[in-house]
Chains A and B, each alone.
Chain A
Amino acid sequence: MANRGGAAQRPNSQTQGKICQFKLVLLGESAVGKSSLVLRFVKGQFHEYQESTIGAAFLTQTVCLEDTTVKFEIWDTAGQERYHSLAPMYYRGAQAAIIVYDITNMDSFGRAKVWVKELQRQASPNIVIALAGNKADLANSRAVECDEAQAYADENGLLFMETSAKTAKNVNEIFLAIAKKLPKNEQVSGAGSANQGRRLVESDSSAKTAGNCCK
């Protein structure tokens, strides 16, 4: 609790340099541990009996890099098939995505690849995509080899880590890696083009959204 307090604080003080806000979406088959990963990252908690998500859950968390404070606006989507129609609403405006699979479940890796393709076609071209092989603590019943996933990630230019929401392994690391890879200054265009095709917003709120970064 104590050690994440620093990161979770609202970046009120401007002393820290710029503050960037990014929209991040989690995608992946149901029960691979998306909610568990974010819950670990945001609250430091893990529940053995995590309930399946309905619709999409919303969380925020702030991380501090050297001279920048990055605030993640996180959308944890539901993996159940019936909610797939919602997913585009969440990845369209996103600057980052984590696609999660379960290392003990080969099918979930297949589904992850389908998500990668969909994002490459439909999401913002600048989107930073990370692939997370979750439940790394269950390496005993591994079904997806680490090397295979790494090779796939390299081919497609994805960040890749094996994570465990249960033991917290690589959870903060993967979010930090994303935060580092995200463009943090001029790149208003990244956010702009991500929003492209969406409706025009009213004059006052457009001022806030246009610079999704560094307001």
Chain B
Amino acid sequence: MAEGGGSVLEGFLCPVCKADFGTAVKLLSHFEKEHNEDKDVLQAFKDLFGKAKKKILKSDGVYGNEGEIQASSRKVMGYSPSLYEPQPIGAVRSHSQQFSAVRSQHLEHYTVETNKLLIRLDKILKDLPSDPLKRKAHEQEVVPWVDEKMVRLCPSCSRSFHLTRRKHHCRLCGFVMCNDCSYSLALDTARKMTSPISQVEPQTELQGSSLPSQKLKRSNSNSSLNSVLSLVEGVHQIDTGLRVCKECLHLLESREALRESRAARPILIQFYERLRTYMQDANQFLPTYIKMCNSISCGESTYQLKEAQALWAKLLRLAENIDSLSKKILVLGSADTENPPRGRALQLQQQIRAAATAFLRNEMLGLPTLPTEAKYLEMQEQRRQELKARIQQEQLEAQASLQLQKQKVREKGRDKQTFDRNHVNVHQDTVLLDSGWTPEKARLFNSDDPMVQQMNNLKHYIKEAKLAQRVDEVEALERNLEELQEEYWRQQEQKRQETAS
């Protein structure tokens, strides 16, 4: 908009005479009166206001007459894109660096403060004397107390201290506060806080256990619900527990909540993890089993039928486990009739079950079965016969081509020595043709011939299709690979002939 460095006009300007009319209504009526000759421009102009109006309404979170507005903006779409085309984005600046700097500063502050408290807590708890006087001395040794004479009002509630509202010190920061503003941190809770993470018991209920803050009883106060609870036991505990201020307690509580949420492993997650290991095991055995099964079904003796049967049994067990565990996950918590899982939680459980059944259906259900012992022996025999026949066939062919070659040689009237050399050559040729260009194949992977690339693709696809048990796909892919290989072979042959001649 700000073109050519000229001044920027703003307001309800008439696009023709550039006068400012102050309001949209005035401008429109002016435009209709003065520049009515062009209906289309007028319409577009009106629509433009519709669009602006819509924007304004949206940004205020007010939704006006949507239908009307949309209809008019659609008209704009059909008319002249130049009127509303989005502006290019101007200078862009990232604030994320600044944000993360501020954030890490903030976090660092918290971590440092919390760690300081934990170290102090640890020191206090170590060899804490039971005798009250000695204990006080010990506490003060770890955390020096602020001189109480300097403090005249409780920094937390701003009330003055007197005979019945006495001064107390926070054992962790040494600051002064009144009794109502202090909290008692039970010693065993404190010990848990300073213990290494591994000792935090994993929480096994689905619903999350009580928060640490509930374990910490507030000391005497008449103004909050907590105090009602603490009236029962808090008063006694203040003697045994550590007196701390709100800030210190808050830091410790946040850390504890974080720690607990990290250690929490709801039963759903435990079940799910077990389900995953079953699936992973199955995934690991499946290719081996399929390979074994295919090989055995061809009558090959690479694998033992017994091995394959054992693997089959293992896979069956895994399938059963996957089925039953995923069923368990599905109904998890539904026995709780008052508060059964719903919404997202329920959806998650259903989806886990769906994924498990899909896994069973796709991966396990269509598995090829092993032949019986008798059938296997029969197939082995059949294969042996086939192999024999093929070898015979190949020998016959080789002999035939040899004969042909001999004839040619004789025709050319060469002597016997040359013939022998030719004899060897003939054999090499036959092998080369039959076993499908092994030397070329080795070079395939370095080639940037598109056809070669595609053949590699296909081999990869075939492997995947086999793993996925997609019989039709494997067939189609193999057909294509054959076609490509043949085409490739034809081209190579052609090239060779071209260079030979």
Contacts and interface: CB of A to CB of B under 8 A. Distances in A.
A60 B483 contact: no
A73 B470 CA distance: 12
A89 B479 contact: no
Contacts of B484: 89
A71 B473 CA distance: 11
Majority-rule SS of B interface residues: helix
Interface in B487-501: 487
B487 A58 contact: no
Interface in B460-480: 461, 470, 472-473, 475-477, 479-480
A93 B473 CA distance: 16
B15 interface: no
A57 B473 CA distance: 12
A205 B483 CA distance: 14
A3 B117 CA distance: 57
Interface in B436-457: 450-451, 453-454, 457
Contacts of B343: none
26 contacts: A23-B476, A54-B457, A55-B453, A55-B454, A56-B457, A58-B458, A58-B461, A58-B473, A58-B480, A60-B470, A60-B472, A60-B473, A60-B476, A71-B472, A75-B480, A83-B450, A83-B454, A86-B451, A86-B454, A89-B487, A93-B483, A140-B81, A199-B486, A201-B479, A208-B475, A209-B479
Interface residues of B, number: 20
A205 B450 contact: no
A75 B473 CA distance: 12
A89 B457 contact: no
Nearest to A74: B476
A121 interface: no
Nearest to B475: A208
Contacts of A124: none
Contacts of B483: 89, 93, 198-199
A55 B476 CA distance: 16
> Which 5 interchain pairs have the tightest Cβ spacing?
A55-B454, A55-B457, A83-B450, A73-B476, A55-B453
Contacts of A54: 453, 457
Interface in B70-105: 81
Contact of A58 (B450, B451, B476, B486): B476
A209 B475 CA distance: 10
Interface of B: 81, 450-451, 453-454, 457-458, 461, 470, 472-473, 475-477, 479-480, 483-484, 486-487
Interface residues of A, number: 24
B450 A82 contact: yes
A205 B458 CA distance: 19
B476 A56 contact: no
A203 interface: no
Majority-rule SS of A interface residues: mixed
A198 B480 CA distance: 11
A57 B472 CA distance: 16
A86 B81 CA distance: 42
A83 B448 CA distance: 11
A15 interface: no
Contacts of A201: 479
Contacts of B479: 201, 205, 209
Given A89-B484, A89-B487, A55 B473 contact: no
A85 interface: yes
A55 to B, nearest CB: 4
Nearest to B486: A199
Nearest to A62: B472
A208 B487 CA distance: 22
Contacts of B453: 54-55
Most central of A58, A85, A209 by chain B CB within 10 Å: A58
A89 B480 contact: yes
Nearest to B77: A140
Interface string A26-64: 000000000000000000000000000011111010000
A208 B473 CA distance: 13
Contacts of B458: 58
Nearest to B455: A55
B475 A56 contact: no
A89 B457 CA distance: 15
Contacts of A82: 450
